[in-house]
A and B are shown apart, each in its own frame.
Chain A
């Protein structure tokens, strides 16, 4: 990059972001083509849960643009952004809500999966399905499908918004989510991001894995 650039996204935030993309796509593939290999889809679900819990922790102790405090904006701020369209280094006030929505949807998707099972309770069932009634399993499975439709919709809007934004405002949003850097400018939120350290990210990941897997293992008795 020739122009002066600044850090926009720290490494852990970027790795998380693309890992989440992978998990959503792999969740679809493992359902569509891995019908005979339930462990694949289930492992994918646990990975999704661990990633989301990691991101929630990182939203409090991670890099400055990853923190919820820096991008979850009050409606007033969203309206102001829509009016003045100022440039933000991190998520803009509107985009911030897309991040929250996507995280919430994937969390709900994976959580309903824990209680879901196939129609005949034969081939695949979530680790907690046997701890609840059949009716609950059925409605969990129903919501597991509905939420996926919502995810597809939100992902489409998310991608479209980024492509349109990158084309019309000439801000390299998508590249920034890969390289982590953006051209130095007069951003409305902060001039440069303070990255969160990798060590802290690893600690968050370990805590997230424990928070997710330990209760499932204790209550459900097994993971795969």
Chain B
């Protein structure tokens, strides 16, 4: 009996440990993606003509997006499919290669844009590949809110 209780307690501790790890990594990737969103916001405003072009902000944001895109693939381990209010779709783990390739594409696009953007016109001409990368991944791998 004592042994049984000890086993149950032991298992419970082990499982909650796993659960904490999962929600941790989910919270972590969500925080990074939120940061990616925040970095994109001022650029989106410049694209729409709602904010004046600001080269320093553009460069800093794109650098952040490229760095985050490199960190993100590691934050979708196989045990983080559910929990923590994640919007990640199961398809991510069914097609991991494509999913990670999209992050690589985003990083490459952001770095390339960083090198070419120097004014409003080149911003408009070169952000397409970055925004396109966000959208094509969200279309396939992120659950819609509604």
The answer to whether A and B belong to the same complex is yes
| Chain A residues proximal to chain B, CB less than 8 Å | 32-38, 118-120, 122-123, 138-139, 141-142, 145, 222
1/0 per residue, CB under 8 A from A, across B126-140: the answer is 011111111110110
Q: Count residues on chain B whose CB falls below 8 Å from chain A CBs.
A: 22
| B49 nearest CB across to chain A (Å) | 7
A35–B49 CB distance below 8 A = no
Query: How far, in whole Å, are A145 and B144 apart by their CA atoms in the complex?
Result: 11
Which of A119, A139, A142, A222: most chain B CB closer than 10 A?
A119
User: Is residue B2 contacting chain A, with contact meaning CB distance below 8 A?
Assistant: no
B130–A36 CB distance below 8 A = yes
8 contacts between A and B (CB under 8 A): A36-B130, A36-B131, A38-B131, A122-B40, A122-B131, A122-B134, A123-B135, A141-B146
A118/B146 contact (C-beta < 8 A), A36-B127, A36-B129, A37-B128 known: no
B134–A35 CB distance below 8 A = yes
User: Is residue B44 contacting chain A, with contact meaning CB distance below 8 A?
Assistant: yes
A122–B127 CB distance below 8 A = no
Closest to A32 in B: B139
A138–B145 CB distance below 8 A = yes
Q: Which residues from chain B contact A119 at a C-beta distance below 8 Å?
A: 138, 142, 144-145
A118–B49 CB distance below 8 A = no
A36/B135 contact (C-beta < 8 A), A123-B44, A222-B49 known: yes
Query: How far, in whole Å, are A36 and B133 apart by their CA atoms in the complex?
Result: 8
User: Is residue B37 contacting chain A, with contact meaning CB distance below 8 A?
Assistant: yes
The one of B37, B129, B139 in contact with A122, judged by C-beta atoms closer than 8 angstroms, is: B37
Query: How far, in whole Å, are A140 and B129 apart by their CA atoms in the complex?
Result: 26
From 104 to 146 in chain B, residues with beta carbon under 8 angstroms from any chain A beta carbon are 127-136, 138-139, 142, 144-146
Q: Which residues from chain A contact B136 at a C-beta distance below 8 Å?
A: 35
Closest to A138 in B: B146
Closest to B50 in A: A222
User: Is residue B41 contacting chain A, with contact meaning CB distance below 8 A?
Assistant: yes
Query: How far, in whole Å, are A36 and B41 apart by their CA atoms in the complex?
Result: 14
A139–B135 CB distance below 8 A = no
A35/B132 contact (C-beta < 8 A), A120-B37, A122-B41 known: yes
Query: How far, in whole Å, are A120 and B49 apart by their CA atoms in the complex?
Result: 18
The one of A35, A142, A145, A222 in contact with B135, judged by C-beta atoms closer than 8 angstroms, is: A35
Which of A37, A120, A145: most chain B CB closer than 10 A?
A120
Query: How far, in whole Å, are A131 and B134 apart by their CA atoms in the complex?
Result: 25
